[in-house]
């Protein structure tokens, strides 16, 4: 049996579906806080409804800040794997309510780790962290400006690895709250000897992502094209670059870690890397071609505070440890999946 927090969100939903297909019993924790964070367009209710159709899935609508209810869940079952994907996920939203952001991402993580230590110390524990723990340090590197993107030609041409410094940069309150959770997860591995692991992710995406303007770049951009909504680009002339990793590929990473646990407290950077990355301008062009609809976009002449000018992940460490893992979905594959998903939703309505 496995436990997934944030089971209605992009990664939690994908991981739950992945393990359900492998005939595991799955307990999912999600109280749809995304709706509170982002409004009705951020709601993940449809994902939860789909999961609940599977008899092997048990849904728990509780907050990860409710220690007593969390403890009751851990007392009920023994879990071989715990995937902690519940979070306040937005860089920008965190500045609106840093108190709730920190409690959700840091204190909520501490609550789950305490339950792990007390009731399920033999479980494998995987934490979905973020590249925002490194702050905007990467913006100080030298880039070449091309027609549609920025590029890096120095020692980081194959992406950024786990050796980047986390100090002396701007993180956003979100980056700090996730880093706090990240360090707690590492420490519960190294200090208490629990089987914990941090996955520091670039942009994660997929067709079930409830992308909104403040979170979920590729999903929100695609929906802006599909539903003919205006799209705002914040700074860098739209040439900022992101790697994108599909939620399915994240699930297969977790599957590898489940079969062969990492060293307690280990950290891995995960992302699309050189195989799956795109600038905002390039993404607009692809979305227009796939949807056959013109995007009404506007470039705003200021950057989001602490935002990355360029990010591509170097997954060398993970691939060396888990050589059988391969990325399955490219940017084009991901966008085509989004098209099929939105077409189905439109048809169903």
Domain boundaries, the chain: 2-348
The per-residue pLDDT of the chain, averaged, comes to: 95
In percent, the amount of the chain with pLDDT more than 70 equals 99
Q: Where are the beta strands (DSSP E) in 170-227?
A: 195-201, 203-205
347 — pLDDT class (breaks 50, 70, 90): low
Read off the pTM: 0.96
Look at the alpha carbons of 256, 311, 233, 34 in this order and tell me if their dihedral is positive or negative: positive
> Quick check: 27 pLDDT over 80?
yes
Average pLDDT of 275-292? 97
The CATH architecture to which 2-348 belongs is 3-Layer(aba) Sandwich (3.40)
Work out the number of other CB atoms within 10 angstroms of the CB of residue 303.
Answer: 15
**SS3 track for 95-144:** HHCHHHHHHHHHHHHHHHHHHHHHHCCCCEEEEEEEHHHHCCHHHHCCCE
Using one digit for the tens of pLDDT, what is the confidence trace for 118-172? 999 999 999 999 999 999 999 999 999 999 999 998 899 999 999 999 999 999 9
> Quick check: 214 pLDDT over 80?
no
Q: Following CA atoms 59, 63, 66, 67 in sequence, which dihedral angle do they give, to the nearest 10 degrees?
A: 60
- Lowest mean pLDDT of 58-62, 212-216, 236-240, name the range: 212-216
Whose CA is closest to 222, among 234, 233, 207, 237? 207
> Quick check: 266 pLDDT over 90?
yes
C-alpha 8/C-alpha 30 separation (Å) is 6
Average pLDDT of 26-50? 92
349 — pLDDT class (breaks 50, 70, 90): low
C-alpha 250/C-alpha 270 separation (Å) is 8
Q: What pLDDT is stored for residue 346 in this prediction?
A: 77
If DSSP codes are grouped into helix, strand and coil, which group holds residue 284? Answer: helix
Average pLDDT of 73-89? 95
C-alpha 148/C-alpha 144 separation (Å) is 11
Q: Is 193 left (phi over 0), alpha (psi -120 to 50) or beta?
A: left
Confirm if 209 and 235 have CB atoms less than 8 A apart: no
Average pLDDT of 177-185? 98
Q: What pLDDT is stored for residue 120 in this prediction?
A: 97
Confirm if 254 and 26 have CB atoms less than 8 A apart: no
Average pLDDT of 218-247? 95
Q: What pLDDT is stored for residue 138 in this prediction?
A: 96
């Amino acid at each position: 049996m496995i436990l997934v927090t944030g089971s209605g969100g992009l990664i939690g939903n994908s991981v739950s579906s992945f393990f359900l297909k492998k005939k595991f019993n799955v307990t999912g924790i999600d109280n749809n806080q995304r709706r509170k964070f982002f409004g009705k367009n951020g709601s993940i209710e449809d994902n939860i409804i789909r999961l609940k159709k599977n008899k092997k899935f048990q849904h728990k609508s509780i907050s990860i800040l409710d220690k007593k209810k969390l403890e009751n869940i851990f007392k009920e079952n023994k879990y071989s794997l715990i995937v902690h994907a519940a979070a306040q996920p937005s860089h920008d939203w965190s500045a609106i309510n840093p108190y709730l952001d920190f409690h959700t991402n840091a204190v909520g993580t501490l609550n789950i780790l305490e339950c792990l230590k007390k009731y399920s110390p033999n479980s494998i524990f995987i934490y979905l962290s973020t590249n925002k723990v490194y702050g905007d340090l990467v913006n100080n590197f030298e880039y070449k400006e091309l027609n549609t993107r920025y590029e890096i030609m120095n020692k980081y041409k194959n992406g950024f690895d786990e050796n980047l410094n986390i100090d002396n940069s701007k993180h956003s309150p979100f980056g700090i709250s996730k880093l706090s959770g990240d360090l707690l997860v590492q420490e519960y591995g190294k200090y208490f000897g629990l089987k914990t692991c941090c996955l520091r992710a670039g942009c994660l995406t997929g067709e079930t992502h409830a992308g909104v303007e403040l979170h979920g770049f590729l999903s929100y951009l695609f929906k802006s094209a599909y539903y003919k909504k205006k799209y705002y680009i914040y700074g860098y002339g739209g040439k900022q670059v992101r790697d994108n990793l599909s939620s399915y590929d994240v699930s297969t990473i977790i599957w590898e870690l489940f079969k062969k646990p990492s060293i307690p407290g280990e950290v891995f950077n995960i992302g699309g890397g050189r195989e799956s990355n795109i600038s905002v301008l390039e993404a607009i062009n692809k979305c227009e071609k796939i949807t056959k609809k013109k995007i009404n976009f506007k470039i705003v002449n200021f950057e989001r505070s602490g935002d990355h000018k360029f990010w591509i992940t170097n997954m060398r460490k993970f691939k060396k440890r888990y050589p059988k893992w391969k990325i399955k979905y490219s940017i084009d594959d991901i966008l085509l999946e989004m098209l099929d998903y939105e077409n189905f939703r439109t048809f169903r309505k």
